[in-house]
Structure 1
Amino acid sequence: MSLYRPRARPKASVYDAAYTGAPNWDIGRPQSAFVRLEEAGLIEDPVLDAGCGTGELACFLARRGHRVLGVDLSTLAVRQAREKARWRRIDARFLVWDALQLERLATAGFSFRTVVDSGLFHVLGPAERDRLADGLAAVLEPGGLYAVLGDARHPDREFYGVTPGEFADRFPERSGWERIFAVETTFERRWGGSPAFFVGLRRRE
């Protein structure tokens, strides 16, 4: 029996505190899995970076010519992302926004062909994962791609991390989703890395 129990997602102030320094997950560049995805031509505009942090992935995609909006719960992270984009002369937009309220973006008229998720889904509890899935269904255009990178789940943890099977359950074909890839990879960190899964899910036309 696992002793691990899911806790509520940290509040914005907790993330703000993390970004006063250099969090281990903020490696100063995009995760390699997303670089390869872009180089393969699988990212279409417009792009939403859900849980963008300090904006390295969003800035990379914008520099490659994509129209990108990055959203994050942390005001400090978004401030740093905007500063990066300004100093690098990159046309990327950033917004302080709860990624569990993507349906509100849809109500405001936003829609996206690609949603990238570098380390958001894997920290959420079960109910929050369901909320994110519902929001993605609202904001992602038919034919659009949700690409998510997350730590592989350890056997002694009940919820943290991801498994390919969970995505099949939370994004089922009967609800209009199609899994187009699921590969084992590494979630890179400033100090080392961890086994991870990179999964791509497409909304059916």
Structure 2
Amino acid sequence: MTGLPWDASYQDGPAPWDVGRPQQAVVRLGTAGRFAGAVLDAGCGSGENALCIAAQGFSVLGVDVAETALASARAKAAEHGIDVEFVAADALRLQGLRRKFETVLDCGLFHTFDADERPGYAASLASVTEPGGTLYVLCFSNEGPETGPHPVSREELEAVFDAHSGWHIATIEPDLIETRFHDQGAPAWLATIKRN
């Protein structure tokens, strides 16, 4: 998988999912003290969520395949004086990072994978998550009006993040993903998933 199609999304102005601020679901997680230890932001885009988490004092690594987004993220970190590391990496091959994280955030990435890619993605995430660590997945939901592209069902999440893949789901709650095309946000799931 190359980053070229994703990179193109950032070259002609903001991408549809790049709203210029952290997602409210991520802000709420931070306010509730739900991040811990070293944090990985998988599919970090232009870095708004990673910057928000790092500003709370966490060590954060943001990864993406889109070099234009990463350059924007690095510039924002420098501008605001926030210490965050941003590197190019394929989310399907995270073991190449050779690092472990206590908390992993997937904000808007899971729903971009086809059904046959999702087990490999779950394994990739498991390879970099500490035992007992937490994964938060915010993805488009198939329930509600004005669903986003590639909506996901609760059952699809449960099928991917099961004991066979090294995970168990703690909660799946309705939420919203802010985009440039949904004034009130698109229906989403916020899943809290624990590493076995």
Q: Indicate which of 5, 18, 25 corresponds to 1:14.
A: 5
TM-score (ref. length: structure 1): 0.87
Distance in 2 (CA, whole Å) between partners of 1:78 and 1:63 is 18
- SS of the aligned residue for 2:157 comes to helix
Per the alignment, residue 3 of structure 1 pairs with none
Q: Note if 1:31 corresponds to 2:31.
A: no
Per the alignment, residue 4 of structure 1 pairs with none
TM-score (ref. length: structure 2): 0.91
Which amino acid in 2 is paired with 1:119?
G
Per the alignment, residue 118 of structure 1 pairs with 107
1:50-199 alignment, distance < 5 Å: 50-105=42-97, 108=98, 110-153=99-142, 160-191=150-181, 192=183, 193-199=185-191
- Native 8 Å contact 1:47 1:69 kept in 2: yes
Shift, 1:127, TM fit: 2.1
Distance in 2 (CA, whole Å) between partners of 1:35 and 1:117 is 14
Which amino acid in 2 is paired with 1:44?
A
CA RMSD of aligned residues (A): 1.9
Shift, 1:50, TM fit: 0.2
- SS of the aligned residue for 1:80 comes to helix
For structure 2, list consecutive stretches of 5 or more residues without a partner in the other structure.
none
Q: What is the percentage of aligned positions where both structures have the same residue?
A: 41
Q: 1:174/1:22 Cα in 2 relative to 1: closer, same or farther (>3 Å)?
A: closer
* Number of positions where the alignment pairs a residue of Structure 1 with one of Structure 2: 190
- SS of the aligned residue for 2:30 comes to helix
Distance in 1 (CA, whole Å) between partners of 2:63 and 2:166 is 25
- Native 8 Å contact 1:48 1:116 kept in 2: yes
Distance in 1 (CA, whole Å) between partners of 2:37 and 2:189 is 24
- Native 8 Å contact 1:145 1:203 kept in 2: yes
Shift, 1:34, TM fit: 1.1
